Structure 1
Amino acid sequence: MKRTWLSIILFCLVIALTIYFPGNAQTKQSSRISMDWIKQVGAKQAPRGERIFKVNDYGAVNDGKTMDTKFIQKAIDACAIAGGGVVTFDTGEYVTGSIFVKSGVTLRIDKGVKISGSQHIDDYPIINTRVAGIEMKWPAA
């Protein structure tokens, strides 16, 4: 019984000293980490003057019934090949499976645009992916 109490008191003493004297190298180093990344996250305004690629010009139909995956992907691919820009949608609803946004491409979804995911698993190709650190084949979504 005395040993248990002694262990508890010793444990509390170690915790108290750790809190009171936090000046280890790790703490001092972490206080010097730049927080500039905070300004770089979140929603951003699309750059003005970039080329605009409308998915509707590539065949997408904003009726909420037509499967638009290949048309949206065509617009994304054309945008990437052109060196980047903004992919936009006319107002309406679009149905899609997996799409793959590429480097330099901004996908802009304006007010009045609704993008619905397909209910069919076949519209999501199986790709190599990592889930919880395990490499496996999984539907791209």
Structure 2
Amino acid sequence: MEFFSGIQHPHLDIPALKNLLTIDNLPSLCASISSTTPDSDNAGNIYCLWGAFSLRRDEIRNGVRYALLDCPHALTWTITADEANEALIVHCTIDKAQPDPEFAESIEMFVSDWSDGMRNALARQAGCFTPGVAGSFTQSKGAGSN
């Protein structure tokens, strides 16, 4: 199943975005993440709303991908600029088409916390900290749905 949210933010600086999205910074960017312990730039441990996990971080073309390596649902998420570089996308996936409703709600909260955290971080970088100034959109999509 897929979950995603977007923040309208034209002309994102991709290198600056990647520098912001370090393992050390995750707790300050997402309220669902309590703590992280980096082992390297791209690996470490994370304690989040679902418990403790090994974490992998990979820089990809327009942002960063994270994976909870020992998560029983193969949870991964990306923080990327969209193709037109007009919005920031938070995209999260799991390996179940029909997850337990409580688990799906917790993932929606996780994505929302990421969206809120990134909106605030981008506003601070722009020097105009006003939470919620950027537009946003959210959608969850199960496998096979339109």
TM range (shorter): under 0.3
TM-score by length of 2: 0.22
Greater percentage in strand: 2
User: Which protein shows a greater Rg?
Assistant: 1
Higher relative contact order (CA 8 A, sep 6+): 2
